Structure 1
Amino acid sequence: MKSLLPLLLCAVSLTACAQAPDSAAGVGTAAAPASSQGLAQAAEGSVDERAIQALQSINPRIEVDHVGPAPLPGFREAVVGGQVVYISDDGRYLLQGALYDVVEKKDLSQAGMAEVRRRLLATIPASERIVFAPENPVHTVSVFTDVECGYCQKLHEDIAEYNRLGIAIEYLAFPRMGPASEGFAKMVSVWCAADRGAALTAAKEGRKVQSGSCTNPVARHYDIGRRVGLTGTPMIVTEDGTQMPGYMPPADLRAALDELAADAAPAEATPAQADGAAGSR
């Protein structure tokens, strides 16, 4: 796992370490950062405020995407730069890394990240996504993609099979080589094409896409991808904010999504519980 400290020193606005594209030149557009806009104002003197102040004492320009109670007594949980950290209630100590419950056998740090992913992905409207979906999808996932990534190309080769299995794929742009790369320019051309879906397919098949510039969301998608903890493409995110483990073949993804849905569904009442509920009415 990468260390958080260099990110803090690099401003952790998540595009501060790379020059943002010039929207006036038509390369990309970006709204104000989506991070702290969704973060509730911490009450003066509260433990949440102390946690934020502790992080900003390392770098005043840091943006915190989430702060709240931690499963670790005496600490607050924060999400910064796509990573979960823990700050002691007095603001003195910072811990970085996964917090694992050995009894429940689960990574407790993922709940906070999932909430951040849900919130940030909700800021991306349907009009900015390139959607390949069956008529009545059973599951919908957001996929941060790059036209030059081998596994992204492999996923797209099977797009019809994902759809046949009831999975809607909603693509978001993440040119992994950054804003100054040829891949970034290609993705701008894709998002500026009259038929984005056809242009994305052509680009992933190595065919030429007509260069174009327009008001587009590529820079903003790239920023949000880094905020939600993206470390490689394709990044598949479920509707509840769960990050899937990289590329997954269609049948494997469907099985994993079915399992997540089953785990999230409320348990059905047993016959004895149902009888008891009926008798109490």
Structure 2
Amino acid sequence: MIRFALPFVPLAHHFALGLLGAVLVATSAHANEAVIRKNLSERLPNLPRIEEVRATPMRGLFEIRINGNELLYTDAEGNYLIQGVLIDTKARVNLTQERLEKLTAIAFDDLPLKDAFTTVRGNGQRKLAVFADPNCGFCKRFERDLAKLDNVTIHTFLYPVLGKDSEEKARAIWCARDRAKTWEDWMLRGVTPPEPKADAKCDTAALERNVAFGQKYRISGTPTTILANGTRLPGAVGLDRLESLLAQASAAK
């Protein structure tokens, strides 16, 4: 039997090679980013400012982030632009959706809960926050599903973004003696919130702060739900899906 002796390579040499490889990869990625930014800005002058360029798990494909959390994809030279979702077929994962969830997550502890009113059912262990407009039809549909949840704490942020009437109704609800009941009466039963008395003292600055908070975090539609693990859910999520996501959020804590 013929035996070949392999040369001994010091561990430090392996480390140096690994470090060199990492540097080369980083340099290459930076070069690709510069080319992508240059070519797209020159060829598509109306494209919004590119806020971030990053490599995707798909070789040669790069993610471009614009307008805060809008994702596009391109090749290493910016010759092609793709609008759509990136699916990992092996893992059966929507990578675009995963990325958007990370980009739009809001830490639950960062929510200004003093500017919301709270509803507790059962043990209240599961927690969520909802930004809702009193004139939003999807919010009313979502409220019907929320009413079926048990063992939950719901923080409702009045988010009047659909016009003057929404602002007036939000003020009336915020100034009511029982905000949660007044909200449910209107959203579930169509009972118009009573107008605050002319001589009543009611500070509605919270509503302005809610709108400012929503603008800061790009809450562009209602309802928008924030789970305890920071996951943001746009739209009227169905009850079954909401129950599943609440369970995941609780398990992640």
Q: Choose from 207, 211, 215 the match for 1:219.
A: 211
Matched, 1:71 2:57: yes
* C-alpha contact 1:130 1:171 (8 A) present in aligned 2: yes
**Bigger CA radius of gyration:** 2
* C-alpha contact 1:138 1:166 (8 A) present in aligned 2: yes
Q: What is the one-letter code of the residue matched to 2:152?
A: I
Q: Which residue matches 2:236?
A: 246
Task: Say if 1:72 and 1:252 are closer, same or farther in 2 by CA, change over 3 A.
Answer: closer
Matched, 1:156 2:143: yes
Deviations 1:10-31 (A, max 9, x none): xxxxxxxxxxxxxxxxxxxxxx
Task: Return the offset for 1:109.
Answer: 0.6
Q: Which residue matches 1:41?
A: none
Task: Say if 1:134 and 1:208 are closer, same or farther in 2 by CA, change over 3 A.
Answer: closer
Paired with 1:186 and 1:52, the residues of 2 have a C-alpha distance of 46
- Aligned pairs for 1:1-281 (under 5 A) are 58=45, 62=49, 64=51, 68-74=54-60, 75-78=62-65, 80=67, 82-91=69-78, 93-119=80-106, 123-134=110-121, 136-157=123-144, 159=146, 161-162=148-149, 165-175=150-160, 177=162, 180-191=163-174, 195-204=178-187, 205-210=190-195, 214-216=204-206, 217-223=209-215, 227=218, 233-238=222-227, 239-241=229-231, 243=233, 246-249=236-239, 253-258=242-247
Q: What is the one-letter code of the residue matched to 1:72?
A: M
Task: Return the offset for 1:46.
Answer: 6.8
* C-alpha contact 1:47 1:76 (8 A) present in aligned 2: no
Q: What is the one-letter code of the residue matched to 2:211?
A: A
Task: Return the offset for 1:241.
Answer: 1.4
Task: Return the offset for 1:213.
Answer: 6.8
Q: For structure 2, which runs of at least 5 residues remain unmatched after alignment?
A: 1-29, 197-201
CA RMSD for the aligned pairs? 4.1
Q: For structure 1, which runs of at least 5 residues remain unmatched after alignment?
A: 1-44, 266-281
* C-alpha contact 2:65 2:71 (8 A) present in aligned 1: yes
Which structure shows the bigger proportion of residues in helix conformation? 2
* Local SS of the residue matching 2:215: helix
* Local SS of the residue matching 1:133: strand
* Local SS of the residue matching 1:98: coil
Using structure 1 for the length normalisation, give the TM-score.
0.55
Deviations 1:206-265 (A, max 9, x none): 32242677323242254357x35x55x43334334153772433x663244325666x69
Aligned length: 211
Task: Return the offset for 1:49.
Answer: 7.1
Q: What is the one-letter code of the residue matched to 2:215?
A: D
Paired with 1:126 and 1:186, the residues of 2 have a C-alpha distance of 20
Q: What is the one-letter code of the residue matched to 1:149?
A: C
Q: Which residue matches 1:15?
A: none
Paired with 2:50 and 2:122, the residues of 1 have a C-alpha distance of 40
Task: Return the offset for 1:166.
Answer: 1.9
Task: Return the offset for 1:174.
Answer: 4.1
Task: Say if 1:207 and 1:48 are closer, same or farther in 2 by CA, change over 3 A.
Answer: farther
